[in-house]
Amino acid sequence: ISDQELLELSEQLYAADGNRAAHGDIILDLQHQVTSAEASAGKDYAPQRLFQHVAEARLFSKPTFSGLLALLDNYERMTGHSEVLTAQEEREEEQFLAAVFSTRVMATLTSFFLAKGLYPSADAFRADLKDMWFGLYSRSGGAALDSSGFEHVFHGEIKKGKVSGCHSWVQLYELEKSGQLNYLSYSYDGAWPSFPDVLALQFRWSSYLKSVGSVLLGSSPEFDLALYTLCFKARPDRLCHVSLGGEAARIQTYSWTNSFYGDGQRFVASAYPVSP
């Protein structure tokens, strides 16, 4: 997959994302910007909430958003504690994937992967996406099957006393709304006048600090999943240069190297937009 193909396909995914937030659907109060050197201090510069308004009725009623919301209460955030997948949670994963794969965004990515010969069929790609994102592995040295790529990126985890992952704006909003997230400051606000935008911020989840977290703000769950999957397959473990609405963006993915699935395939370890 060439650099030019990445730029062209990311623009196609961006154009296909009809479920993303529109102007006015999300209103933020960014308050105080910190330098990268100040970010790790964990000082609270923001007395007000980050999310002043989210058009929940319009956005969260859409199948991929409601599917994501159903998944967010399925995870044990502390590493070292095994994830137990119940029959109901398995159904929720399948419902989410069914909703995602019925969107133009994922149809666009699927067609590209099939044309490049990466998969023999759409069903093969869907099965592999589920394995790479939802397959369980251990972030606790084998003590427990306590993590997955999806949990790490879209939900977030607590590891060694700090927040790890947590790169979904929907999860940040839900945590702040429930009183679990204290927004501290931001270090980068992207150049996009519409959604999705890139935001790098500092926050505490309960008492646990995330000194720099970055999200695609206002994007749909299927867009995040498709863009991160594209970069994970095309540029694993390095910067992936994409274009969103004519603006350059960079995605960083990491693959999990301590365990595998299938024929030596690697799970997603992390994926997020990179801020300067």
Kindly report the number of other CB atoms within 10 A of residue 180's CB atom.
13
State how far the Cα of 190 lies from the Cα of 220, in Å rounded to an integer. Answer: 17
Give strand ranges (E) for the chain: 26-28, 51-54, 157-159, 162-164, 181-189, 197-205, 208-217, 239-244, 247-261, 265-273
- Catalytic, 177? Answer no
Query: Per the residue annotation, which of 152, 155, 159, 233 is the catalytic one?
Result: 152
Query: Per the residue annotation, which of 43, 210, 233, 241 is the catalytic one?
Result: 210
Burial of 84 from C-beta contacts in 10 A (0-12 / 13-18 / 19+): exposed
Q: Are strands 162-164 and 51-54 parallel, antiparallel or unpaired?
A: unpaired
- Catalytic, 152? Answer yes
- Catalytic, 241? Answer no
Query: Per the residue annotation, which of 155, 159, 167, 233 is the catalytic one?
Result: 167
Report the catalytic residues: 152, 167, 210
